[in-house]
Each structure stands twice: as structure tokens, then as C-alpha cells.
Structure 1
Amino acid sequence: MTLKMDAIALHGFLDKEFAQVRGDFIIADLAPDRISVQMQVADRHLRPGGTVSGPAMFALADVTAYLIVLANIGPKALAVTTNCSIDFMRKPAAGQMLVCEARLLKLGRALAVVDALIYSAGQAAPVARASLTYAIPPT
């Protein structure tokens, strides 16, 4: 399978279509069936107690899934999340980079299914796991 968008094109797409997340996510690795995206944890990502908030980890998983889908279907801004299930398993390290490793499990005409693991940089065990489904707009 050949990618329709590379990391540079995906970053440009996010900058243009989703300026509100500009600079928050960095694509570290990209292949047709997998992607690795990094997010530097900032104060705005923390909740009381100093741990990374669930919404921040959800955003990382969701954007990562969006990017692997777009990499395979092209720049379709209206591909949308239709389902997400996320398990928070461990406390992420505050002030660390979070890394989301995702795999594209299925890419159909109407739906894509992605499995994602989130890690605190330097830790072997994942801090969260997400399963996401994306609706692909008709051509």
C-alpha cells in the first residue's frame, strides 16, 4: 500500500486545517500500517495532582489515528471519529514527552479501525490504550 500523504504533507494539513493544534504533535515515524506521534507534555496538559489529563491523552490518540487514516486516504478534513474506547492504565510522567504508537487495523471504503498505545517517553509499559473508528467521507 502506498501512502497518499507523507509526514510533511500531514503536518502542513494540520497547520492549515487545525491551527489550534499547531506544533502540539510531531510525526516521528510513518508507514502504511503504522504511525508514531509525539506530544510534549506542557502545563496545560496536566490535571490536579500533576499527572497528564485524560483529555490530553485522548487528543494524542485521536490525532494519531486521524493522521494514519489521512496518510492512507489523502487530505479529507471531514474524516471523523465515530467511536473511541480508551483505557488509562498507568500514571504518565509529568513533564515528559508522550508517544502514541498506532496501527491501522482496517481501512475500508466507509470506516477505518485503529489501535493505539500511548507511552511516557523512556518507559516500557504503556500508560493508555485506545481503539478508534473513523468514518471516511464518500468520494
Structure 2
Amino acid sequence: MTIPSPAEIQAIVREGVPLAGEWGVEVLAAEGGAALIRLPAKPVLLRPGNTLSGPALMGLADVAMWAALLSTTGGRDDSVTSTMTVNFLRPAGSGPVLAEARIVKRGRRMLFGEILIRAEGSEEVATHVTTTWAVIAPGRV
């Protein structure tokens, strides 16, 4: 199996989730069930208080987990989010943010992952996300 490059995974993500393209989501790294993606600053993603909105952060987390998953499947996967638990720990700010996703456990039917989101340039986690995905083999629905 060929491991797709971050640029190839970014293209897959932007095609599969057009909103990721509109937001300018960038896949910086993706390999071995982990991914690092960047959401650039965009005024349309802010909420009152001049910080990134919850929906933007949740969407970013979901896309980050898919990028991590695509890094293990040769860039083809039809799995879907089953659950997502989001803990907003502090404001992420109004600038770019980074999401680090990793697959914690993958079974035949379910996948469990974790995503940490922080403001670019900061080590403090702003949002902690855990997620479960239903594994769907490519070509099967």
C-alpha cells in the first residue's frame, strides 16, 4: 500500500469535505495514524469574544481524525464519525490553530481517536476531543 503524502491527503479531505477547502484547512503531516492539520485565521469562523467558534473547532477535529485515518488506508476510507466528545478548555483565540489527531485504537468495526487543538505558537491545549468512528471498508455501505 502506498502511503499518501500530506498534500495528497489534503486534496482528498478538501474533495470529501468541501467546507475544509473553503476554510483553507492544511494537512501539515499525516502518517501512521496521526495527523497535524492547520486552520488559518478567518473572520467568518469567529464567535462573539473574538475567538474561534465551537462549530469550527468541532469541524476541524473531525477533519483531523479523517486525515489520520487516511494515513493508514492508502488515502481511501469510507468510515464515518459515530460519536464525538468535545471539551473546550480555554479560548483558542482568533488566529490560526493546529489540530493533532491520533488513532488510539482501531478494531474491525470501530475506531477510537483523540484530537488536541491549540493556538498556533502555543503549547496549551484549547480543545480536547475524543471520537469514535464506525469503520466501513472502501466500497461497502
SS of the equivalent of 2:12 reads helix
Are 1:103 and 2:110 counterparts? no
Q: Distance in 2 between matches of 1:17 and 1:116?
A: 20
Alpha carbons of 1:49 and 1:14: their partners in 2 closer, same or farther (altered >3 Å)? same
TM superposition outliers: structure 1 runs of 4+ over 6 Å: none
Worse overlay, 80-89 or 23-32: 23-32
Provide the rounded CA distance (Å) in 2 between the counterparts of 1:60 and 1:17. Answer: 14
**What is residue 6 of structure 1 aligned with on the other side?**
5
Cα offsets for 1:62-87 (capped at 9, x unmatched): 100011112212412x3110010010
> Which residue is 1:59 aligned to?
59
Tell me the residue number matched to 1:91.
91
Q: Does 1:116 align with 2:115?
A: yes
Partner residue of 1:134? 133
How far is 1:6 from its partner?
2.7
Map residues 13-92 of structure 1 onto 2, 5 A cutoff.
Answer: 13-22=12-21, 24-73=24-73, 74-76=75-77, 78-92=78-92
Cα gap change, 1:14/1:131 in structure 2, threshold over 3 Å: closer, same or farther? same
Q: Percent identity?
A: 22
Deviations 1:45-76 (A, max 9, x none): 10112111001110111100011112212412
Equivalent pair of 2:26/2:39 in contact (CA under 8 Å): yes
- Equivalenced residue count is 136
Distance 1:8 1:137 in 2: 24
User: Unaligned stretches of 5+ in structure 2?
Assistant: none
Question: What root-mean-square deviation, in Å, do the aligned CA atoms of Structure 1 and Structure 2 show?
Answer: 1.8
Deviation at 1:109, TM superposition (A): 1.8
Structure 1 unaligned residues grouped into runs of 5+:
none
Q: What SS is found at the alignment partner of 2:108?
A: coil
Normalized against structure 1, the TM-score is what? 0.88
Counterpart amino acid of 2:122? Q
User: TM-score under structure 2 normalisation?
Assistant: 0.86
